Amino acid sequence: MGELCEVNFRLARSRSSVPRARALLRAKLGEWRAGQEVVETAELVLSELVTNAVRVAVPGDRMIGVRIEVRDQGAWLRLEVSDAGDGRPEVRWPGELDTGGRGLLIVDALAFCWGVKERPAGIGKTIWAEVVTPAAVPAPTTVHPSVMS
- What local confidence, expressed as pLDDT, does residue 68 receive? 96
| Distance from C-alpha of 3 to C-alpha of 71, rounded to nearest angstrom | 6
Does position 51 have pLDDT exceeding 50, yes or no? yes
| Mean pLDDT confidence for 94-108 | 79
Average of per-residue pLDDT across 85-113:
81
With a cut of 50, say whether residue 111 has pLDDT above it: yes
User: How many residues does this entry show for the chain?
Assistant: 149
Contact 79, 46 (CB under 8 A): yes
In this predicted structure, the answer to whether residue 16 has a pLDDT above a threshold of 90 is yes
DSSP β-ladder status, 113-118 and 64-71? unpaired
Query: For 74, left (φ over 0), alpha (ψ -120 to 50), or beta?
Result: left
Q: Does domain 5-132 have CATH number 3.40.50.720?
A: no
Q: Is the dihedral of CA 130, 134, 136, 137 positive or negative?
A: positive
Mean pLDDT, the chain, as a whole number? 84
Look at residue 136 in the predicted model and tell me its pLDDT.
Answer: 57
So what's the pLDDT on residue 101? Answer: 67
List the strands of the sheet with 76-83, edge to edge.
Answer: 5-11, 64-71, 76-83, 125-132, 113-118
pLDDT over 70 (residue 139): no
Nearest to 24 by CA among 66, 80, 74: 66
Q: CB under 8 Å to 115, separation ≥6 — which residues?
A: 127, 128
Give residue limits of the domains in the chain: 5-132
Is pLDDT at 149 greater than 70 in this prediction? no
Average pLDDT over residues 115-144: 76
> In 3-state terms, what secondary structure has residue 109?
helix
Of the candidates 131, 126, 101, the residue with the CA atom closest to the CA atom of residue 113: 131
Predicted confidence (pLDDT) at residue 12 exceeds the cutoff of 90: yes
